[in-house]
Structure 1
Amino acid sequence: MIKKILKFLLKLTAILLVVFVIYFIWEIKMPTPTIDKNLSIENYERIEVAPNHYTVNDCWLKKNKYGIWEMYLEGEPYERGLIYGVLAKELMEKQEIYFVNQIDEIVPNQFFQFFLKMFVAWFNRDINEYIPEENLTEIYGVSQSFSDKYDYIGPKYYRILNYHAAHDIGHALKDLNMVGCTSFSVNNELSADSSLLIARNFDFYMGDEFAKDKLILFVKPSNGYAFSSYSWAGLTGVVSGMNEKGLTVTLNASKSDLPFTAKDPISLLAREILQYAQNIEEAIAIAEKRETFVSESLMIGSSIDNKTILIEKSPQKMDVYDSENNQVTCANHYQSDTFLNDSINIKNIKNSDSKHRYDRTNELLNKNYPIDYTNAISILRNQKGVKDEFIGYGNPKAINQLIAHHGIIFKPHQRQFWISTPPYQLGNFICYDLNKVFNGTKQFSDIDSLKVASDSFIQSNDYKKYEVYKNIKQRIQKFVMIGKPFSISEKEELKFINTNQKSYITYMVLGDYHAENKNYPKAIDYYIKSLEQSVASIEEENIIKEKIVSCQLELKEK
Structure 2
Amino acid sequence: MARLPLSMHADHRRGPLAAPRVLAALASTGVVLAVLLALLYSGYLNYTELSPPQVEIPPARPVVDASGRRVDDGRSWITRRGNLWHLYLTGTPEEMGAAQGRLGARLFRSLDAQVGEFLHRRYHNWLDAWSESMRLLWDYHGADAQLRSSDRTELAAFAMALPAGIVESGRLNTYNRLFLHQCFLDLSRRLVEDVIVEGNAFAVAARPATGSSHPARLIVGRSLDLGDEFDPGRIVTVYRPDGKYPFASVGWPGLVGVVTGINGRGIVVTINPARTDDPEEPGLAWPLVLRQVLEEADTLEQAQQIIRDAPLRTSGVVLLGDGVRRRAVVMEVSPRTDGSRRVVRGEDEAIVWATDHLLREHFERDAQNHRIKVSTSSGARYARIGELIRKPSNFDQQDALRILRDRHGAGGAPLGLGNRHALENLATTQAVIIDATSMVMWVAEGPSTLGRFRAFDLRQLLTRHDQPPAPLEDLPSDPLLYSEEYTDYVEAKRQLEYATHLLALGQAADAESAARLALGLAPELAELHRLLGDIARDLGHREAAVRAYRRYVELVPGRMREQQRVRSIIEELGG
TM (normalized to structure 1)?
0.88
Query: 1:448-502 CA deviation, whole Å, 9 max, x = no partner?
Result: 642111111111112112212333445677899xx68885433222112122213
> What's the counterpart of residue 288 of structure 1?
308
Counterparts in 2 of 1:502 and 1:190: CA distance versus 1, 3 Å: farther
User: 8 Å contact 2:500–2:511 — kept in the other structure?
Assistant: no
> What's the counterpart of residue 52 of structure 1?
69
Q: For residues 254-293 of structure 1, what are the structure 2 equivalents within 5 Å?
A: 254-257=274-277, 263-293=283-313
**Deviation at 1:204?**
1.7
User: 8 Å contact 2:401–2:433 — kept in the other structure?
Assistant: yes
Distance 1:241 1:503 in 2: 33
> What's the counterpart of residue 453 of structure 1?
476
**Deviation at 1:391?**
2.2
**Residue 530 of structure 2 is aligned with which of 508, 522, 529?**
508
The one-letter code sitting in structure 2 at the alignment partner of 1:434 is: L
**Deviation at 1:345?**
2.5
**Deviation at 1:111?**
4.8
- Secondary structure at 2:181 match in 1: helix
The one-letter code sitting in structure 2 at the alignment partner of 1:56 is: D
**Residue 215 of structure 1 is aligned with which of 207, 211, 235?**
235
> What's the counterpart of residue 94 of structure 2?
78
> What's the counterpart of residue 223 of structure 2?
201
> What's the counterpart of residue 85 of structure 2?
69
Counterparts in 2 of 1:306 and 1:511: CA distance versus 1, 3 Å: same
User: 8 Å contact 2:277–2:369 — kept in the other structure?
Assistant: no
Query: 1:126-147 CA deviation, whole Å, 9 max, x = no partner?
Result: 2112222211111111111234
**Residue 188 of structure 1 is aligned with which of 176, 188, 206?**
206
Distance 1:249 1:342 in 2: 25
**Residue 98 of structure 1 is aligned with which of 101, 107, 114?**
114
Counterparts in 2 of 1:344 and 1:439: CA distance versus 1, 3 Å: closer
Query: 1:403-444 CA deviation, whole Å, 9 max, x = no partner?
Result: 111110111111111100111111000111111113454686
Question: Structure 1: 5+ residue runs without aligned partners?
Answer: 554-558
**Residue 385 of structure 1 is aligned with which of 405, 409, 417?**
409
The answer to whether the aligner puts 1:161 opposite 2:183 as a matched pair is no
**Deviation at 1:24?**
0.5
Distance 1:241 1:450 in 2: 20
Greater CA drift, 539-548 or 418-427:
539-548
**Deviation at 1:13?**
5.6
Q: For residues 404-419 of structure 1, what are the structure 2 equivalents within 5 Å?
A: 404-419=428-443
The answer to whether the aligner puts 1:242 opposite 2:262 as a matched pair is yes
The one-letter code sitting in structure 1 at the alignment partner of 2:459 is: N
Distance 1:517 1:20 in 2: 50
Distance 2:259 2:367 in 1: 27
> What's the counterpart of residue 465 of structure 1?
488
Distance 2:151 2:413 in 1: 45
Query: 1:41-86 CA deviation, whole Å, 9 max, x = no partner?
Result: 5x2311112313111222111112x121111111111221112212
Counterparts in 2 of 1:519 and 1:134: CA distance versus 1, 3 Å: farther
User: 8 Å contact 1:153–1:159 — kept in the other structure?
Assistant: no
User: 8 Å contact 1:59–1:73 — kept in the other structure?
Assistant: yes
The structure that has the greater radius of gyration is 2
> What's the counterpart of residue 141 of structure 2?
125
The one-letter code sitting in structure 1 at the alignment partner of 2:425 is: Q
User: 8 Å contact 1:185–1:308 — kept in the other structure?
Assistant: yes
User: 8 Å contact 2:357–2:372 — kept in the other structure?
Assistant: yes
- Secondary structure at 1:467 match in 2: helix
CA-based RMSD: 3.1
Counterparts in 2 of 1:58 and 1:67: CA distance versus 1, 3 Å: same
Counterparts in 2 of 1:528 and 1:32: CA distance versus 1, 3 Å: closer
User: 8 Å contact 2:51–2:175 — kept in the other structure?
Assistant: no
Greater CA drift, 420-429 or 191-200:
191-200
Query: 1:229-265 CA deviation, whole Å, 9 max, x = no partner?
Result: 0111211011111100000001111124596565311
**Residue 329 of structure 1 is aligned with which of 353, 357, 372?**
353
> What's the counterpart of residue 233 of structure 1?
253
User: 8 Å contact 1:391–1:503 — kept in the other structure?
Assistant: no
Counterparts in 2 of 1:319 and 1:478: CA distance versus 1, 3 Å: farther
**Residue 41 of structure 2 is aligned with which of 15, 21, 30?**
21
Distance 1:147 1:99 in 2: 19
User: 8 Å contact 1:203–1:403 — kept in the other structure?
Assistant: yes
- Secondary structure at 1:198 match in 2: strand
User: 8 Å contact 1:180–1:253 — kept in the other structure?
Assistant: yes
Query: 1:380-420 CA deviation, whole Å, 9 max, x = no partner?
Result: 01111111212222222111111111110111111111100
**Deviation at 1:124?**
1.2
**Residue 394 of structure 1 is aligned with which of 418, 426, 447?**
418
> What's the counterpart of residue 116 of structure 1?
132
> What's the counterpart of residue 140 of structure 1?
156
Distance 2:54 2:89 in 1: 21
- Taking every aligned residue pair, what percent have the same amino acid on both sides? 20
Question: Structure 2: 5+ residue runs without aligned partners?
Answer: 1-18
The one-letter code sitting in structure 2 at the alignment partner of 1:185 is: A
The one-letter code sitting in structure 1 at the alignment partner of 2:227 is: Y
| Number of residues of Structure 1 aligned to a counterpart in Structure 2 | 542
> What's the counterpart of residue 332 of structure 2?
312
> What's the counterpart of residue 556 of structure 1?
none
